[in-house]
Amino acid sequence: MEPLGEAALQHHQHDPQRPPESPAGSGSAGLPTGAPASPPTGPPTGPPTCLPADTDAPRRLDLSAVRERLAAQQGPAYWRSLDELAQTEQFQELVQREFPSLLPVGMEADFSRRRFLQLMGASFALAGLAACARQPLEKIVPYVKQPEEIIPGKPLYFATAVPAGGYAMGVLVESHLGRPTKVEGNPDHPASLGSTDLFAQASVLTLYDPDRSKTPTSLGEIRSWTTFLAELAGALTAQKGLQGAGLRLLTTTITSPTLAAQIRELLARYPKARWHQYEPAGRHGARVGARMAFGDWTDARYDFTRARVVVALDADFMCEGPAAVRYARDFMSTRRARVAGAAMSRLYCVESTPTSSGTVADHRLALAPAQLDGFVLALAAQLGVAGAAAPPDLPPPLSAKAAVIARDLAAHRGASVVVAGEHAPPELHALAHAMNAALGNLGATVLLTDAVEAQPEDQLDSLQRLVAEMAGGKIDLLVVLGGNPVYDAPVDLDFTTAMQKVPLRVHLGLHQNETSDYCHWHLPETHALESWSDARAFDGTVTIVQPLIEPLYDGRSAHGVLACLLERPDATDYDLVREHWRAQPRATADFESFWRKAVHDGVLAGTALLPRAAAVQSAGIAQAVARLSDSAALGAGLALIFRPDPTVHDGRHANNGWLQECPKPLTKLTWDNAALLSPATAQRLGVANEDLVELRSGERRLAVAVWVLPGQADGAITLHLGYGRTRAGRVGNGCGFNAYALRTAGAPWIAAGIAVTPLGRRYPLACTQEHHSMEGRELVRVGTLAQYQSNPDFARDADRAQENLSLYPGFKYEGHAWGLAIDLTACIGCNACVVACQAENNIPIVGKEQVHKGREMHWIRIDRYFEGGLDEASALHQPVMCMHCEQAPCEPVCPVAATSHSAEGLNDMTYNRCVGTRYCSNNCPYKVRRFNFLEYNDRRSETLKMQRNPDVTVRMRGLMEKCTYCVQRINVARINAKTQGRPIQDGEIVTACQQACPTQAIVFGDINDTQSEVTRWKATPLNYGLLTELGTRPRTTYLAKLRNPNPELEGG
């Protein structure tokens, strides 16, 4: 045991590496300033540095030993974390350190003698009297005039869209008496088809974020809109004279037709004014690459349903970009080998950093950027793209692989896709298009259309021009609509300094952020669920965005602010959007019915852009090839790869607790980003997990904690954007490291020539599943298509031995018997289910410190196991929620029967009966039960109360909770069916996780119903249960994961 006192001290030290918090950092205007970096829900968990910053020298990670160990293992090798595998000193030390954490528990600081005595009195009174406590009188407040469609106690659903990077994700929003509580996908919307991603799920929390800005402020002082309009009027009159020569508009990517029209009107009125767009994690590569390939602005969209072979070039096409959810659904629809006679597509992933798409790939190549470029050239050459030639220094095995893949592609002309990543350089996109053209995929699996964006442009170039002008002092009035350029603009442009030369700077945003700090005026923006607007999906389909609730605060939308600029401050968003559409030709004579239908459906029929022919411009391709050859040439040195974070994206979601606490798909880190290193690179640099290193790019430096990620390409460091915020709010402040500090306009996604120096300090990272190996237990069962065809039962072989023998006859389930099945082939670990569950079931967040202690509350977790060799390691995902065992070990041990079995096979958890002995959790072999160790639910913030699902109890501290199969939905369905005197239909009950899942990997239903989908799933030979040898008879089962590797590449 290490000395206690020392450890105790360390917890109070602040880690010097943490960016200092701006004095105004705590909460936005008008908010009680709470503990700065503590999430609004849950106990004050303190800044991420509340854990010991271990100052020992970093231990070494002996990876050669690891290789041997892996080599020695029989069969597929599954392992937990590199440290364990390596048995490094550090791991040993870590696990030997038995009693280091004498952590202060929240609220320590303000603990006076007086408070203590109060508490003592209160708590013992509680202990004594709670029994006899009577509930306080409650008020019922009926309407004055009740809206006809509202039936108190029944939710309503409204179609709308939540924007992601300017593009629309069509959703249906559940509303209880006017409070939006839950976001679901809109089945009619092309980008959703009924599913959502985690961002859409979490958007409702952002709406109710208590840190949102509430009033206009001028230099930090609270002001009224009228004051702002007065000042704006002055500036505008000045501009009229100059034809707006000094007026600049900076927005994020815009697809909204109405907004675009408004901006054009503004530009018409002020001819010399300019409009710039900048999206830090936008589709720059795709945009510019397409122009390079086709000569003008073109959007490519893919039809994966018709693709037999897919090659993803550094592309996480199932988790990134405006069409990710749709693509994931489409692609997985081609992998249902479990359905008799269905073929299975094949996916090759060539990538520098592990992605969700990579984990489902049949073949995955981890290549550093330079090598990747070389490989792409080789592939292109193989496919006969003019001018492309494999670089001489390309390792033979790689060119061999390229040849094989090219053959496979060529064998599927017109039925294959080569897709380049959202964040790949333009050249890669251009070449991908060229390859698709060569494969005759254009028009077949790859559809080319006009640009969906209102004004496609080279945003980096556009921003640079703006900065130049501002620095030149040519700008008098800068209006920033959304976005956060001060934080996320390329660092070499020095946007902030240039901006400060502008006499009047106005910023519109949901939150007071880094940018608003540097603006004269900050204007509160309305959330997408608060205002009328419109937006286009990835295929151009228009959705009318309708509000679910009156604006919570004194905010306006971008439409409103533009109206101000157009001197129509009184025009409402509703009028503006309607005006625009009334003027459109497609608005038929009967505008009202057109409008009502559009708003009701959530999609404007026939607005999808039509595919058009386009020829590949050889000049552009030649240029791309040339550039790629150059970059392929400079191979040596470490490359730094920037990626939007899997949970907080480019930083816009930094203050969203659900997303902060959502474990990243591969690292399972929460509340932080880290420099992801491949094992070999880490070994070479002599660093291990949680070591702080300094990344140096030119003269720019950044201290970052290291996380060793198997499957990361050697020589490539990945650093996710969106962290190191200083003005995000109480949740996001001070989490992680600001990658933008190293990101330049020249190298937005890949910076070469990075120097790394260990700092000899450590920074604790809260990882929910650092401890992950299968210990040779058959938890995730994987097979190849061939294997499945030869022996369909391969997945069950492991269970042959133990039949469930019991002395007692089992319980007979008449009526319904609820069950759930998860198709591991389809799961991409995208976390949509995790956040959906959190939103549906009022699951609190607990903060970094508590996660680090192993107290995260997620009812569904996605277990991640590594597979294969160390360097070409891939990951397996396995969603785990309560198994609702028919012989549930948790039930007999509960002394008060707080967890008991329902006649329909549900493992009921009765919160109000639970006394919190935690015996059930100890006895649960799946460890899916979650305990409220502290009062995790925020009962102070009024707005957060509005989000809570009224059909689910909000749990207090001291009791156990777990997945209920969304029993509230089951009960509603049962009651509806019974009142209508009919049986419950199959598919009538959809659990939150199932509903959100983009790949339809989850199905729920009645296993007594022989026709139900879930029964059909469970009937396939792939179906197996987790730890069935314990005799638990889980109701949740898994379909073994199938891969479809190319025989030619097997063993290669």
Partner 1 sequence: MAEIPAPGPARPNPARPAPPTRPPLMAPGHTAATVTDKISAVVLTGTPKWWYAAFGGSFAILMMLLYSLTMLFAKGIGIWGNNIPVGWAFDIINFVWWIGIGHAGTLISAILLLLRQPWRNSINRFAEAMTLFAVACAGLFPLIHMGRAWRFYYLLPIPNTFGLWPQFRSPLMWDVFAVSTYALVSLLFWFVGLIPDLATLRDRAQSLLAQKLYGFLAMGWRGSARHWHNYEMASLMLAGLATPLVVSVHTVVSFDFAAAQVPGWHATIFPPYFVAGAIFAGFAMVITLSVPLRVLFGLQDFITMRHLQNMAKVMLATGLIVAYGYAVEIFMAWYSGNRYERFMILNRVTGPYRYTWYALILCNVLVVQLLWSRRVRNSVTALFIIAMFVNVGMWLERFVIIVTSLHRDFLPSSWGMYHPTRFDFMTFFGTIGLFLSLMFLFIRFLPMISIFEMRMILPASKPPEEPR
Partner 2 sequence: MAQIFHRSTNAISRFTIYGAVFVLAAVAWVFAQLSRSSYATGRTVILQQPVPFSHDHHTAGLGIDCRYCHTSVEESSFAGIPPTATCMNCHKQIWSDSPMLEPVRQSLRANLPIRWTRVHDLPAFVYFNHSIHVAKGIGCETCHGRVDKMPLMQQASSLQMEWCVDCHRHPERYVRPRSQIFTMGWQPPRAQEELGRELVQEYQIQSLTYCSTCHR
Footprint on residues 993-1032 left by partner 1 (CB under 8 A)? 1026-1027, 1030
The one among 158, 574, 911, 919 contacting partner 2 by CB under 8 A: 911
User: Residue 1038, interface with partner 1 (CB under 8 A)?
Assistant: no
DSSP one-letter string for 448-480: EEE-SSSS---HHHHHHHHHHHHHTT--SEEEE
Judged by beta carbon, residue 176 or residue 649, the one nearer partner 2 is 176
User: Residue 140, interface with partner 2 (CB under 8 A)?
Assistant: yes
Which residues ranging from 531 to 550 are in contact with partner 1 (CB under 8 A)? none
Start-end of H helices in 941-986: 942-947, 967-979
Judged by beta carbon, residue 156 or residue 1027, the one nearer partner 1 is 1027
Say which entry of partner 1, partner 2, none residue 1 contacts (CB below 5 to 8 A, set by partner kind). Answer: partner 1
Say which entry of partner 2, partner 1, none residue 895 contacts (CB below 5 to 8 A, set by partner kind). Answer: partner 1
Closest contact distance (angstroms) between CB of 881 and partner 2 is 16
Q: Rounded to an integer, what distance in angstroms lies between the CA atom of residue 363 and that of residue 345?
A: 12
User: Residue 952, interface with partner 2 (CB under 8 A)?
Assistant: yes
- Give exposure, 267-304, as e/b (b: 16+ Cβ within 10 Å): bebbeebbbbbbbbbbbbbbbbbbbbbbeebbbbbbeb
User: Residue 672, interface with partner 1 (CB under 8 A)?
Assistant: no
- Three-state secondary-structure class, residue 752: strand
Binding mask 924-963 toward partner 1 (x if CB under 8 A, else -) reads: -xxx-xxxxxxx--------------------xxxxx---
Instruction: Write the CB contacts of 121 (distance below 8 Å, at least 6 apart in sequence).
Output: none
User: Residue 9, interface with partner 1 (CB under 8 A)?
Assistant: no
Q: Rounded to an integer, what distance in angstroms lies between the CA atom of residue 564 and that of residue 1019?
A: 62
Neighbouring C-beta atoms of residue 636, cutoff 10 Å:
11
User: Residue 5, interface with partner 2 (CB under 8 A)?
Assistant: no
Of 142-150, 208-216, 693-701, 926-934, the window that binds partner 2 (rule: CB under 8 A) is: 142-150
Of 103-111, 255-263, 506-514, 895-903, the window that binds partner 2 (rule: CB under 8 A) is: 895-903
Say which entry of partner 2, partner 1, none residue 57 contacts (CB below 5 to 8 A, set by partner kind). Answer: none
Closest contact distance (angstroms) between CB of 1026 and partner 2 is 23
Of 135-143, 338-346, 358-366, 508-516, the window that binds partner 2 (rule: CB under 8 A) is: 135-143
- Residue from 275, 278, 280 nearest 475 by CA: 275
CB 59 within 8 A of CB 90: yes
Judged by beta carbon, residue 4 or residue 903, the one nearer partner 2 is 903
The one among 43, 679, 734, 847 contacting partner 1 by CB under 8 A: 43
Number of residues that bind partner 2 (CB under 8 A): 41
What Cα–Cα distance (Å) separates residue 74 from each residue in 674, 876, 959?
33, 18, 43
DSSP one-letter string for 976-1009: HHHHTTSPPPTTS---HHHHH-TT--EEEEETT-
User: Residue 134, interface with partner 2 (CB under 8 A)?
Assistant: yes
Say which entry of partner 1, partner 2, none residue 146 contacts (CB below 5 to 8 A, set by partner kind). Answer: partner 2
Of 129-137, 219-227, 333-341, 404-412, the window that binds partner 2 (rule: CB under 8 A) is: 129-137
What Cα–Cα distance (Å) separates residue 926 from each residue in 779, 920, 921, 929?
11, 11, 9, 8
Of 116-124, 515-523, 651-659, 744-752, the window that binds partner 1 (rule: CB under 8 A) is: 116-124
Of 32-40, 251-259, 831-839, 908-916, the window that binds partner 1 (rule: CB under 8 A) is: 908-916
Q: Rounded to an integer, what distance in angstroms lies between the CA atom of residue 827 and that of residue 77?
A: 20
The one among 138, 148, 592, 775 contacting partner 1 by CB under 8 A: 775
What Cα–Cα distance (Å) separates residue 538 from each residue in 53, 167, 169, 179, 925?
45, 6, 9, 29, 44
Which residues ranging from 960 to 989 are in contact with partner 2 (CB under 8 A)? 964, 967-968, 970-971, 975, 978-979
Closest contact distance (angstroms) between CB of 958 and partner 2 is 14
- Residue from 1008, 998, 1015 nearest 327 by CA: 998
Which residues ranging from 787 to 846 are in contact with partner 2 (CB under 8 A)? 815
User: Residue 773, interface with partner 1 (CB under 8 A)?
Assistant: yes
Judged by beta carbon, residue 925 or residue 1021, the one nearer partner 1 is 925
Closest contact distance (angstroms) between CB of 178 and partner 2 is 13
User: Residue 957, interface with partner 2 (CB under 8 A)?
Assistant: no
Which residues ranging from 130 to 149 are in contact with partner 1 (CB under 8 A)? 130-131
User: Residue 801, interface with partner 1 (CB under 8 A)?
Assistant: no
Pairing of strands 638-643, 716-720: parallel
Judged by beta carbon, residue 130 or residue 805, the one nearer partner 1 is 130
Instruction: Write the CB contacts of 561 (distance below 8 Å, at least 6 apart in sequence).
Output: 479, 481, 506, 508, 523
Say which entry of partner 2, partner 1, none residue 571 contacts (CB below 5 to 8 A, set by partner kind). Answer: none
Q: Rounded to an integer, what distance in angstroms lies between the CA atom of residue 779 and that of residue 865?
A: 9
- Three-state secondary-structure class, residue 48: helix
Q: Rounded to an integer, what distance in angstroms lies between the CA atom of residue 877 and that of residue 792?
A: 21
